[in-house]
Structure 1
Amino acid sequence: MNYSDKLNQVENSNDDTDSQAQTLGQPLSDFLLQLEDYTPTVPDAVTAHFLHSSGFEPKDPRLLRLISIAAQKFISDIANDALQHCKMRSSNSSSSHSSSRSKGSKDRRYCLTMEDLTPALAEFGITIKKPHYYV
């Protein structure tokens, strides 16, 4: 194998690497383009306020939108965990009561309480305590 064959082989491997990098980065660029059209539940102004108060000024609005989506996911996970705690607590309390109440359990409405929110937040490393008295 002479020098020109080795050079051609290196160039071909670089072309493969470039095309592979281009295909690996394509989903990310598509996702960033989709961020421009998506409106997250947490408004950009709220996210910008909290980022500004922490000393971070994002120049790219897509980064701000990405942080808003991450905050939305975080809040959604906490709410879902709290709902699961509420369902477990209500199923435990209804199993000790008569089975006549379980007939309407599909139409049951749930209420977010501190009793359910506290263990859900504890799973994420956030500890909260109720005050000893209310003013």
Structure 2
Amino acid sequence: MEFPTPQAAKEIEQFLQKLEDYPPPIPDSVIKQILSECGMHTNDIRVSHIMNVVCQKFMSDVMTKCCECAKLRAKEDKKKKKLDIQVSDLKAALETRGIHVNRPEFIVSIEPDEKEKEE
């Protein structure tokens, strides 16, 4: 493992100081819960803030890719003027990140027969 250069160490310290003033969009309790489920237990709030920034960046990248997929789909359908994001767009965006979602495109609910309702 290489140690950071003095300049890099200074930049890291400045970044950590900026994180203290940054209001996290995801509550710290949520980040701590996710970290503990992954087996990482820490009381250092800086770790929580760094993970918060990483999660926010990941979600931003996925949503940007979703919008790109939706725009490509919208070009094919000239009638629609509004941009709508569908599950297929989310699946495509996540697959570019190596996350494969095995979920049906739609869910069908089946009404029980009248006889089953009476029982």
Task: Spell out, residue by residue over 1:57-102, the C-alpha distance to the aligned partner (whole angstroms, 9 max, x if none).
Answer: 12210111000110111111001000000001101221xx6xxx7x
Q: 2:25 aligns with which of 41, 52, 56?
A: 41
Q: Which runs of 5+ in 1 are unaligned?
A: 1-19, 102-107
Q: How many residues align?
A: 105
Partner of 1:4: none
Check 1:132–1:93 CA distance in 2 against 1; reply closer, same or farther (3 A cut). closer
Check 1:23–1:83 CA distance in 2 against 1; reply closer, same or farther (3 A cut). same
Q: Secondary structure at the match of 1:36?
A: helix
Q: 2:60 aligns with which of 73, 76, 98?
A: 76
The list of structure 1 runs, each at least 4 consecutive aligned residues, that deviate by more than 3 angstroms after superposition, is none
Alpha-carbon RMSD across the aligned residues, in angstroms, is 2.2
Aligned-pair CA distance for 1:109 = 3.7
Identical columns (%): 26
Q: 1:30 aligns with which of 14, 22, 31?
A: 14
Check 1:29–1:131 CA distance in 2 against 1; reply closer, same or farther (3 A cut). same
Q: Which amino acid aligns with 2:48?
A: L
TM-score normalized by the length of structure 1:
0.68
Q: Which runs of 5+ in 2 are unaligned?
A: 110-119
